[in-house]
Amino acid sequence: MSEDVAAETLDRLLAVTLLLGADMSSHLGARGLTESRAGVLHVLGQSGPTTQRTLADALDVAPRTITGLVDGLVASGHVTREPHPTDRRATLVTPTEHGAAAAADLVSGRLELAGQLFAGWWPDRLVAFNDGLDVVLDTLQSLLEEES
Amino acid sequence: MSEDVAAETLDRLLAVTLLLGADMSSHLGARGLTESRAGVLHVLGQSGPTTQRTLADALDVAPRTITGLVDGLVASGHVTREPHPTDRRATLVTPTEHGAAAAADLVSGRLELAGQLFAGWWPDRLVAFNDGLDVVLDTLQSLLEEES
DNA sequence: TATTGTTATACTCTATAACTATA
DNA sequence: TATAGTTATAGAGTATAACAATA
């Protein structure tokens, strides 16, 4: 009985991830961004001009991948490559005005989405749902640590 | 105040989707499958031998994409291409024993994951969480319809 | 010797257009 | 004429290995 409900819940959770992903990437596409490139922009928005090596570590991705992502962001005018002031090996990736505006748009878009999703919820329900997500998050983290 | 909680909740939901995706694909990778190829196998498990055209419609993907996915599944021994008995244009994609076993494994793996995630939850909490997900699902569907 | 970022290469997924064989 | 599946081509993301320049 409870197992059926658990399976249903997982199904719903998976369906939510699908739709959430679709919604996010439709917003990104409208701004000429992809998910990975938006991730780079997001890190830049929080840390300011950043080394590609730092970006690779922050996004847990190979340095070569950052090269490609930054190539794309430079081509679309979201970002520039500047020489590092003290380390001549490194380059600093810096958002342009256009890129900073896009990053700000994404943040406000996420706030708007949060509002749309949870607007009609009375506080207790929202808090309970949030707690539930927290438990799921912890469990998933433990599971992933076990596997690795 | 409530807006902050909403934003936090969305953040947690996004974090859950990330970890869930990581967990799923680690299981898939262990079986030599990718997400899309597992989707093909899943459809085959439910419908039996299937035309590539039908697969493309079921997965909402271009026919050319199915060609690639089936190529991969044939190479990994999960699937065979058989001539269609009456329509010589079409090919029937059929799971091998290995493919059928992998599909069954994925189903039981998902049940196991559901158990691990929600095992310790008392029924009321699980039902409430499930209802919350349902609301989120409905809202997301309306949002996506608006956009398109 | 270690690190930064590159080129080279390869694999997966997706998509469009043009084409062949068949219905 | 329409359909099934293909080749051709392209772009996105990821990954490994080898390498140049610099620390």
* DSSP state string for chain A: -HHHHHHHHHHHHHHHHHHHHHHHHHHHHHTT--HHHHHHHHHHHHHSSEEHHHHHHHHT--HHHHHHHHHHHHHTTSEEEEE-SS-TT-EEEEE-HHHHHHHHHHHHHHHHHHHHHHTT--HHHHHHHHHHHHHHHHHHHHHHHHH-
Supply the pLDDT for residue A30: 86
Are B141 and A19 inside 8 Å of each other by CB? yes
Nearest nt to the A73 alpha carbon by C1': D12
Q: In what order do the strands lie in the sheet with B50-51?
A: B50-51, B91-95, B79-83
Contacts of A29 in chain B (CB under 8 A): none
pTM above 0.75, yes or no: yes
Q: Does B124 touch chain A (CB under 8 A)?
A: no
Contacts of A147 in chain B (CB under 8 A): 23, 26
Q: Does A132 touch chain B (CB under 8 A)?
A: yes
User: Is the confidence at residue A1, as pLDDT, over 60?
Assistant: no
Instruction: Say which DSSP state B90 is in.
Output: -
A133-137: average pLDDT: 95
Per cent of chain A over pLDDT 70 is: 98
Supply the pLDDT for residue A146: 81
CA dist B99 and A84 (Å) reads 52
Structure confidence by residue, pLDDT tens digits, A76-130: 999 999 999 999 999 999 999 999 999 999 999 999 999 999 988 998 899 999 9
CA dist B73 and A35 (Å) reads 27
Contact by Cβ (8 Å): B115, A6: yes
Q: Of A20, A56, B137, nearest to A28 (Cα)?
A: A20
Count A/B contacts: CB-CB distance under 8 Å: 150
Contacts of A61 in chain B (CB under 8 A): none
Using CB atoms, pick whichever of A116, A135, A137 lies closest to residue B15. Answer: A137
Structure confidence by residue, pLDDT tens digits, B86-142: 999 999 999 999 999 999 999 999 999 999 999 889 988 999 999 999 999 999 999
